[in-house]
Structure formats: structure tokens, C-alpha cells
């Protein structure tokens, strides 16, 4: 039986310390690098996010029928030294789908890569076509352009120069960059048009640099030659995306003193920009004692336009905070939200409507209309199998007496301790059967 969560907060004060899990984004990249390096690279502080645990299990561990999924040390393209199960099911893990598509494309084993029903609705065609152009043999098992896919172990590189659209998903670009050094002729990747989520691509290149994989990025072309990974350790930082929900809670509180451990001002994660964004909401970030101290101060909210092109995973959080504060802001850079775990634009519109708020879409510009907003005594939040829908709406417990969240365990995807951490800081968290 699926468990729902009822969430309440008797006052609007928040005070305490939160220990965040490792970044899912960093961890997933590091795990692929570890596997491709043949064991030369070691990953420290692996995230306990379900997606990262799943990917680590596929890349490191034995799975059904006693067959080894992939073992670090046996991952050089062109040499079959390990066996794989016929099918690898990544469930709802979108990052794993993209990264493993590229990873398995250069192995010598036949693999069927599949996932949840929602995963079968999320496009993969742009990445598949790019890999086919490089020399991969990939077939669609069901619907063209979507998982499941069959990757045949017969990679022979045909070219080093490929082009890919920059405004669809940075994960396609990252997937290609991660395998580039293992390609016999390297990779010259031409990015067409404007690049969405640029910080995620920069994160990928910085982590590869840690393993001494060099690159050249000139204009819209990223070049990585064939080269060897160096012995290295990659320490995964705490998750700035997870931190964003605590910033939102601080923004909606009357008084807030929060300490988030392990975070630094010099992060590879693009979502660390939450410090700058939430400064508009009166949240001061002071880095000290191995973390960041959040303090809320009264401040007029004047910023009207938020461009979230480089940090789309913060969109739900920021939009919900603005709605809670009756701030009729305008948002851009939300193009990728419709192909995430759910159509996040539609999900936001549906759930915000339950408190009378409209998110109006005009082309690629979105505006909040709070003119008919009301505060219900109780609000049921559908999560759409999307971890960020649950966590982005949780701060509303500071203004709505009772919230009920469909499928509480959905947060396990990126922040398994979320409800527990809320309880530690004074929220009333109750599990109920759906």
C-alpha cells in the first residue's frame, strides 16, 4: 500500500541543522567516470539518493541470475571482459537512462535498456541518433525515439564530429562527453543553438578534469581527444538542489536560522545559484564552520523576472515560493520542464490552481497570477511520481494548516531523508495509507 504524508507546522519559526546527502548530479557523473576509468577513479561520499544507488548497483554489483552488470576495471571500449544481463531496468531514473545509453553503446555486450512507464514516454532519440552517427548499433524495442532500446556490442567509430541541439537536455551532451575520451578518435561536439543548463555541462567537464581528461571548449564546439584516465578520487559534494527546499522554507518562515552542513561557495553545481536567487527573498547565506548559515531578514521583494534556463531544477521551488508570497513574477528558461519526471509545467499549473493561483504560459514566458489566491484549510498535493513536486510544495506547510502529499516515498529519488529532516526541525510528519 502506497504511503501518503500529512505535513503540518504549528508555528512559522524554523531553527536547526540539516545534514544533506551527496549531490545526485555529481554522483551519477562520478560513477560513470569511475567505471570508464577501469577503476583508476574512486568515488567518495556516494549519494543515498535512489537514482545514484541504482546506478552504482548497475555499474558495480551483481544482479539477477548471478550475472555481473558492469564491474569497474572491465569497461574499456573494444574489450569484452564481463557479462551483462539481457535487460537493465533503470526504473524512473532519467539521468541513468541518458548516461547508460552512451556508456553501453561503447561496450561489447548486447543490452536492452528499459525503465518505468514514464521513462518510456521520455524522449531519447536525439542522443540515440548522435551515438548512431558515432558508430553505435542501437534499435528501438517499442516506440521510435523512446526507451526501451537495444544496444548491440559492435561499436566501431565512424566519425569524431557530431552536432547536437543545445536547448533540449544537457544530459544528452553530458552523456556524450563522459564517453569521449574512450572513443578511439575522440569527440568534436558541435552544440547547435543556445545551450540550456550550461552549468551542468561545466560540471561534467570539471569532473572529467579531476581524472585528467582534458578538453577544449571554443565557441560552440567542445573537443575531447582519446586519452587515458588518471588515478584520482572524486569527492561528491552535498546536494544544492536539496538545499533549495530549505531556502524556500526559510523564505516562508517568520523567523529562520538554519545551518546546512558541507556546502561551500565554490560548487560545481549550477543550483548553488539558489544563494543569489533567495537573497531576493531576504535570505542571507553565510559560509562558515564547514557549511552555510541561512538567516531570514525582512526585505521588500522587487525582482520581477527570473530566468531559470541554467537552473531548471529550481523552477518548481522558486515558483511555489513566489505563489505563496503573492509575488506575481515572470519566469523564463522552463523549456526542459515538460520532459522531466512529469510535465512539470502542467503539474505546477494543476497544483497551484488548488489555491487559486494561475501559472499562465505565453510562448516561452510564464507569469504568475495571484489575483484569486486563497489559503485553504487543507490541500492535497499530487506528486506525479516526481520527487521535486513533493519537496517544492512542502514549504507551503508554513502557510496552509494541513498538506497531504500523494506517495511520500517519491522523495527517495534524490533526498530520502527529506521527511525525517522536516520532522527533526519541528514539522509534524504523519504517514497514512493512501
H helical segments located in 86-197: 94-105, 125-134, 170-180
* pLDDT higher than 70, residue 186: yes
Neighbouring residues of 241: CB distance < 8 A, sequence distance ≥ 6: 23, 24, 25, 269, 271, 313, 314, 388, 414
* pLDDT higher than 80, residue 205: yes
HSE-CB for 117 with a 13 A CA cutoff:
2
Average pLDDT over residues 300-309: 91
14 and 32 belong to one structural domain: no
Q: What's the rounded Cα separation, in Å, for the pair 323 and 342?
A: 20
231 and 250 belong to one structural domain: no
When mean pLDDT is compared over 163-167, 281-285, 340-344, the highest value belongs to: 281-285
CB 43 within 8 A of CB 236: yes
Residue 39: the pLDDT is: 87
Average pLDDT over residues 335-347: 82
Domain boundary among 203, 235, 267: 235
Kindly state the percentage of the chain with pLDDT values over 90. 76
Q: Classify the C-alpha dihedral 95-100-103-106 as positive or negative.
A: negative
Name the band, by pLDDT with cuts 50, 70 and 90, for residue 77.
very low
Q: What does the DSSP assignment read for 340-397?
A: SSS-HHHHHHHHHGGGT-EEEEETTEEEEE-TT----SEEEE--TT-HHHHHHHGGGG
166 and 70 belong to one structural domain: yes
Q: For residue 38, what is its C-alpha cell?
A: 577501469
* pLDDT higher than 70, residue 402: yes
Which has more pLDDT, 336 or 80?
A: 336
Which has more pLDDT, 302 or 78?
A: 302
CB 51 within 8 A of CB 93: yes
Which has more pLDDT, 278 or 69?
A: 278
209 and 347 belong to one structural domain: no
Closest C-alpha to 89, from 131, 148, 21: 148
13 and 86 belong to one structural domain: no
Q: What's the rounded Cα separation, in Å, for the pair 357 and 368?
A: 7
CATH number at residue 176: 3.65.10.10
Closest C-alpha to 39, from 71, 68, 67, 62: 71
251 and 307 belong to one structural domain: yes
Name the band, by pLDDT with cuts 50, 70 and 90, for residue 66.
very low
Neighbouring residues of 218: CB distance < 8 A, sequence distance ≥ 6: none
Residue 1: the pLDDT is: 60
Q: Rg of the Cα trace of the chain?
A: 22
Length of the chain: 434
User: Is residue 412 annotated as part of the catalytic site, yes or no?
Assistant: no
165 and 79 belong to one structural domain: yes
Number of domains in the chain: 2
CB 174 within 8 A of CB 204: yes
41 and 180 belong to one structural domain: yes
220 and 271 belong to one structural domain: no
Residue 97: the pLDDT is: 95
User: Whole-number mean pLDDT of the chain?
Assistant: 90
291 and 320 belong to one structural domain: yes
The string of pLDDT tens digits covering residues 80-122 is 344 544 789 998 888 999 999 999 999 888 899 999 998 999 8
306 and 368 belong to one structural domain: yes
SS3 282: coil
Q: Which of 271, 313, 386, 421 is catalytic?
A: 313
Average pLDDT over residues 416-430: 97
Which has more pLDDT, 335 or 295?
A: 295
Residue 274: the pLDDT is: 97
* pLDDT higher than 50, residue 137: yes
Domain holding 224, by residue range, is: 24-235
The string of pLDDT tens digits covering residues 6-65 is 999 999 999 999 999 899 999 999 999 999 998 899 999 889 999 999 999 898 753 323
Q: What's the rounded Cα separation, in Å, for the pair 14 and 6?
A: 19
Domain boundary among 235, 260, 295: 235
Domain boundary among 216, 235, 254: 235
Residue 61: the pLDDT is: 59
Neighbouring residues of 220: CB distance < 8 A, sequence distance ≥ 6: 166, 190, 191, 192, 195
* pLDDT higher than 90, residue 74: no
278 and 220 belong to one structural domain: no
Kindly state the percentage of the chain with pLDDT values over 70. 94
Amino acid at each position: 500500500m502506497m504511503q501518503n504524508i500529512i505535513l503540518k507546522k504549528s508555528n512559522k519559526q524554523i531553527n536547526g541543522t540539516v545534514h544533506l546527502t551527496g549531490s545526485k548530479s555529481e554522483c551519477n557523473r562520478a560513477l560513470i567516470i569511475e567505471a570508464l576509468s577501469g577503476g583508476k577513479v574512486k568515488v567518495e561520499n556516494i549519494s543515498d539518493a535512489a537514482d545514484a544507488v541504482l546506478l552504482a548497483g548497475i555499474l558495480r554489483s551483481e544482479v539477477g541470475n548471478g550475472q555481473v552488470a558492469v564491474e569497474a576495471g572491465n569497461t574499456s571500449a573494444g574489450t569484452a571482459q564481463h557479462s551483462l544481463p539481457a535487460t537493465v531496468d533503470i526504473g524512473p531514473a532519467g539521468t541513468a537512462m541518458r548516461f547508460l545509453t552512451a556508456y553501453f553503446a561503447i561496450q561489447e555486450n548486447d543490452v536492452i535498456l528499459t525503465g518505468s512507464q514514464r521513462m518510456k514516454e521520455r524522449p531519447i532519440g536525439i542522443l540515440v541518433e548522435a551515438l548512431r552517427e558515432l558508430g553505435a548499433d542501437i534499435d528501438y524495442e517499442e516506440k521510435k525515439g523512446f526507451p526501451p532500446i537495444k544496444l548491440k556490442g559492435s561499436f566501431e567509430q565512424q566519425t569524431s564530429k557530431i552536432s547536437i541541439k543545445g536547448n533540449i537536455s544537457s544530459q544528452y551532451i553530458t552523456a556524450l562527453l563522459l564517453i569521449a575520451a574512450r572513443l578511439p578518435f575522440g569527440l568534436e561536439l558541435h552544440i547547435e543553438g543556445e545551450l540550456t543548463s550550461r552549468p551542468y555541462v561545466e560540471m561534467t567537464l570539471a569532473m572529467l578534469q579531476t581524472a585528467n581528461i582534458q578538453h577544449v571548449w571554443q565557441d560552440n564546439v567542445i573537443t575531447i581527444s582519446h586519452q587515458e584516465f588518471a588515478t584520482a578520487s572524486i569527492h561528491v559534494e552535498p546536494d544544492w538542489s536539496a538545499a533549495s527546499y530549505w531556502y524556500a522554507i526559510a523564505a516562508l518562515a517568520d523567523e529562520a536560522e538554519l545551518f546546512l552542513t558541507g556546502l561551500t561557495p565554490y560548487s560545481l553545481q549550477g543550483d548553488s545559484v539558489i544563494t543569489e536567487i533567495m537573497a531576493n527573498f531576504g535570505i542571507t547565506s553565510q559560509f562558515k564552520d564547514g557549511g552555510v548559515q541561512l538567516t531570514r531578514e525582512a526585505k521588500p521583494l522587487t525582482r520581477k523576472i527570473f530566468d531559470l534556463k541554467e537552473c531548471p531544477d529550481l523552477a518548481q521551488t522558486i515558483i511555489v515560493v513566489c505563489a505563496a508570497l503573492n509575488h506575481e513574477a515572470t519566469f523564463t528558461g522552463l523549456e526542459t520542464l515538460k520532459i522531466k519526471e512529469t510535465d512539470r509545467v502542467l503539474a505546477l499549473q494543476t497544483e497551484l490552481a488548488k489555491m487559486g493561483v494561475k501559472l499562465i504560459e505565453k510562448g516561452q514566458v510564464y507569469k504568475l497570477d495571484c489575483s484569486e489566491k486563497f489559503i485553504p484549510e487543507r490541500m492535497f498535493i499530487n506528486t506525479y511520481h516526481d520527487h521535486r513536486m513533493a519537496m517544492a510544495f512542502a514549504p507551503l506547510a508554513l502557510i496552509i494548516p494541513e498538506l497531504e502529499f500523494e506517495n511520500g516515498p517519491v522523495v527517495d529519488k534524490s533526498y530520502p531523508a527529506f521527511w525525517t529532516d522536516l520532522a527533526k526541525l519541528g514539522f509534524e510528519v504523519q504517514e497514512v495509507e493512501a
